[in-house]
Structure formats: structure tokens, C-alpha cells
Amino acid sequence: MVSTEVEQISTIGLDEKLDQKCSIDGKKKKKKSSSNKKTTSPISPYYEQVLASYPLKLNNSKAKGRHAVAQCNLEEGITLCQEQATAFVVRSPFIDHQCHVCLSDLEQKMMCSSCNKTFYCSENCLEKDKGIHALVCQPIAQTEAIGHATDVDADLLRLMTILMARKYLDTLNQEDIKEGDIQPTPYWCLEDLISHRENADPAFIKVLTEASQRLAMEMPNEIQTTVEEMVTLACRINSNAHGLGDNHSRNTDVALGLFPLGALFFNHGCNPNTAFIGLPNGQLAFRTIRPVAKDEELVVSYIDLYSDRDERRQALLHSKHFWCKCKRCTGPIEKSVDRFLQGVVCTQCKEDVYIIQATSLEHLSKGKRALYMEQGSFKCAKCGSEIACDQVRETLDDAKKSYMLGMSAIRQERNYKQGAEKLEQITKYNSNKGGELHTMNALRLNSLIPLMNCKRHKNDLKSAIDVNRSIIGLMEQYATEGTLPANTSEISDFWQNLGELCYEMATDIKGRSSILEKKWLKEAKTAFLHALKVRLVIFGGNHPKTKSIEKSLARL
């Protein structure tokens, strides 16, 4: 899961930023990156100019397309790039919760009474939006009805409309790059983005075409364009848009924005060295989450890191329309952490798991998986002993069944006791038929998270704390044994959650045992300090996610 929460703007001067970024220690020299050698076409000077103050270099190679590499050795927690969205929309469920210009909470709502769909927090924001809103008010008033009639997401139609108005306004206002404030990335950069239109579902293109025709009829002449261009724009949005959170980072997905610079130069990697974080007013920042060597490619993850190779590739194929060729997805599975994520422990040596090869693009795109296609036997990655494929499948299928039963008890029946029982079976899964799930099997992590919530629901704080510790332990195991990142938003969330749980324990025990109260307060402090350490790397010191931990520590 990638985090896109909003933070307070960090206003470090550009020169100061560069100084901070390049670590003085040049000892960790790495081999020259091969990406430099395969350069194809040059990058537009605009991009070089607008990103000149950041410690990255822009490349274009056959193998990686456009991408960014570190200009020098970088420490973790360095801002690589900060961008103002070309445009963003507040998503429908939050439409009257956040300001459509600055994303702050709406205490007093100022609504456009013509479209009834645009909300501002202040006269100032309304004023800022006047030029663009005059062009989009009428089509925006119709996006919900058009979306409903054609089965196209109304938020997508709103974002398309605003982007088309942005395109028109950009043509009137062709200024050079301004010093100081970060300006929205101009519309023309968006036209450089991959659309993957050719890979989109034809049925989607059909409904999109119909929706675009209807939307075009509502548009003023200034922003009219061809239906073809509108469809391609929608595909570009689907392949490249980012979620944004509110300004306090309570909700993670209140808005959807287009950030062409980020989308053009940060490729995806399933073992990233960079994370993107949302900032206020529709900005996005890219920050290193571990040390990066000079010339190393800077990659972010678009998806959940803790799912197996087939699942990640399928998610990327489905949502972003590409076949992942990152290092983690192309390395031999028998040496990768990926074997553990769908791992069943070897019944002979008990030290490794049976190797299930990754599924090919051809099969995965048809919904087939190697796990179910293999006949014969699977081999242990360590001792080479074999087991019938059916036995491994049975172990995994039984565990999946318990997971589904647990989740349906929670979601459909709100039966947390039964849900917890089913999920606990997986966390301790040891089948007498085929084998045992590996500790790092993704199903275990996926079960521990709802299990912790069940315990919390039942007010069983002590068990919730134990499960929360197991989750952190597991994520740290992925980092140490599987070399996945140790600084992730998820890990910091679980440290924060652990701090809150321990604080609740201390509050509960208050007045009954001062020794126990002190013990739980101490544990809460330790957990919050861990959360703070990780948040400082990912979000930096000014982000509300970091400030919220400081507040929790001050309360102790």
C-alpha cells in the first residue's frame, strides 16, 4: 500500500535542499549504472530545468524508458522532488468535506450554487478558482448524471473536465518557469505520459467514448476538444493518477491528482528506495526511504509490497496495464523473498519452502496461476526434496478458505469472535495434510491485521497488543531477511497503533497498579519513538503524520 497523505508544506530553500541531499561520504562508490549507456532520446530541457535543484538525473533508456537516478550518494529521508498537481479533484464521498482548492477541512461550506458540486473553504480559495471554474461549471454540473448513464466514474469525468480547462488556460498564460513557489506542472507535460490506451478493456473504451461525447456537449467552446483526445486523457489519468489525503492525513484518499513530473520519471519497483507522500494544496513529494548510491535508479512502489509476485504483477497489469520487470520480479524466485510470500514449509528439512515458479504474462493475463497449473511435484528451495503439488495446493487452499470465512464473519455478520477464530487458525496454520504456512506467507500478515482489529473490537487490549507486535515483527522480518524497506508508512502506522494500545492499557490500569501503569507508559513511549524514527525518514519533520507522533509523545 502506498501512502499519499498530506503534510504541512516544508519550506526548505532550494540550495539548502541540494546541500542536504548529497551525502559528503563518497566512499560507497558503485559500478557505473548501465542505464546511462543505453540512453535513447534526450529529455526535454524543460524537465531538466524544472528539476535542476534536486539531486537527481533524468535518463531515457530502451530498457527503462524515462527514469530518474541519484545524482550522488543519498541518505534516507531526502526530498528528491516536489510537485504541484496539474489538477486534482476531491473524490465524491468527500466532495463537501474538503476545499476543492487547498484540500483543507470545510468548517463553513461555500458551494457554487450553479453546479452544486464545487466547495471552497474561503473567499480566497473561491477567488483563486474563478478563472477555471467559469469554464468547467456547466459540464461539472452534469458529470454525475453522465457517469450514471454511461457507467463511468463521475470523478474521472470531473478531472478530465478540469484538465481540459487547465490546458486552455495554459495556452493563454505561457510563462517561463518562475522562481520561488512551486507552480502546477503545465498541461503539455501530461501529453508525454504513457496512456496504455491500447491495453485498456475495449468495453471501458466504449463507455468512455459515450461519456466523452456527452461531456463534450456540455463544454464551452474554449475547452472543446476531440472525443479521441478525451478518451486518451482518461486512459492517461487511469494509468498515472495519484491519491491524495486531507491536510491532517486522517484520510488517505480524499482526492485524485495528476503529477506529470513524478509520473514521467519515477518507475515502479516492488522493492523501492523512494516513497511519494502527499503535501497540502495538492502537492506530492518524493523522498528516499533508504540510502541510495550515485547513479542508482530511484523507484517507488505503486502497490502493496507484501503480496506474492503473481499477485503484484496481476495488480499492476489490472490497474496500470504493464508487466512488471523490476529487479524483484525478474530475479530467480528460489532466492527471492517472494517464495516465502506463498510459501509452504518443507516437511523434510523444515528450513525453506517449496518453490512455486512465477506465472507467465500469457497465463496471468488469462487469470491462470502456475500454482494451479503445475503437475507432479514442487521442490524445496534448500534440500531439494519433493512433494506432490496437490499437497501444497491443499495447504494453501485450506488456509485461504479459513481467511475467507474469517473475513466474511467480520464483514457480513460483524461476528468478531468467529472472525478471530478463523483468522487465528491461519496465523498458527499447521496442516497435517500438506505442511505448514511459512511465517512470511502473505496470508499470515493479511490475517494478522484484521485479527488485531477483532481483538480491539472485543476490548481485548492485551491480545491486540500481542498481535500488533507480531505484525511489526513480521514486517521487520521482511525487511531484514527479505531486504524489503524498513521505512514504510505501514510500519510507522503499526508502531503508532502499538503506542496507542499501550497508552490505553496504562489508562485502564490507572489507580489500580502504579507499577503496571508505568510499565505500559514506558512501552507506549518506546513504540511512539519507533514510529517517530520511521516517520521522520518517510514524511520529514513538518508532516502532520510526524507531528501527530510528537503530540502523542508529549501527552505521556
What are the residues binding ligand SAM (CB under 6 A)? 64-67, 194, 196, 239-240, 263-264, 267-269, 320, 322, 324-326
| Closest separation in Å from C-beta 129 to ligand SAM | 28
For residues 325, 327, 332, 336, the Cα torsion angle rounded to the nearest 10 degrees is -120
Nearest Cα neighbor of 210 from 149, 165, 167 is 149
Q: Which is nearer to ligand SAM, 67 or 117 (CB)?
A: 67
Q: Which is nearer to ligand SAM, 234 or 409 (CB)?
A: 234
| Closest separation in Å from C-beta 65 to ligand SAM | 3
Q: Which is nearer to ligand SAM, 64 or 444 (CB)?
A: 64
d(CA 429, CA 3): 30
* CB count in 10 Å sphere of residue 313: 24
30, 294 Cβ separation under 8 angstroms? yes
Quote the DSSP letter at residue 510: T
Q: Which is nearer to ligand SAM, 67 or 158 (CB)?
A: 67
Q: Which is nearer to ligand SAM, 119 or 302 (CB)?
A: 302
| Closest separation in Å from C-beta 82 to ligand SAM | 17
295, 34 Cβ separation under 8 angstroms? no
| Closest separation in Å from C-beta 299 to ligand SAM | 7
CA angle 444, 447, 451 (to 5 degrees): 130
| Closest separation in Å from C-beta 79 to ligand SAM | 19
Cell numbers that stand for 223 in this block: 475547452
Q: Which is nearer to ligand SAM, 271 or 427 (CB)?
A: 271
d(CA 356, CA 339): 7
| Closest separation in Å from C-beta 185 to ligand SAM | 13
| Closest separation in Å from C-beta 192 to ligand SAM | 7
Q: Which is nearer to ligand SAM, 239 or 307 (CB)?
A: 239
Task: Give residue number: closest CB to ligand SAM.
Answer: 65
| Closest separation in Å from C-beta 281 to ligand SAM | 22
**DSSP structure string for 410-442:** HHTT--HHHHHHHHHHHHT-B-SSS-BB-TT-H
Beta bridge partners of 120: 110
Helices 154-172 and 123-150, interaxial angle, to 10°?
A: 130
d(CA 555, CA 241): 38
Nearest Cα neighbor of 84 from 302, 298, 281 is 281
**DSSP structure string for 367-391:** T--HHHH--SEEEBTTT--EEEHHH
CA angle 427, 428, 429 (to 5 degrees): 95
Beta bridge partners of 386: 379
Q: Which is nearer to ligand SAM, 240 or 425 (CB)?
A: 240
Residue with cell 476545499: 99
Q: Which is nearer to ligand SAM, 301 or 470 (CB)?
A: 301
| Closest separation in Å from C-beta 408 to ligand SAM | 34
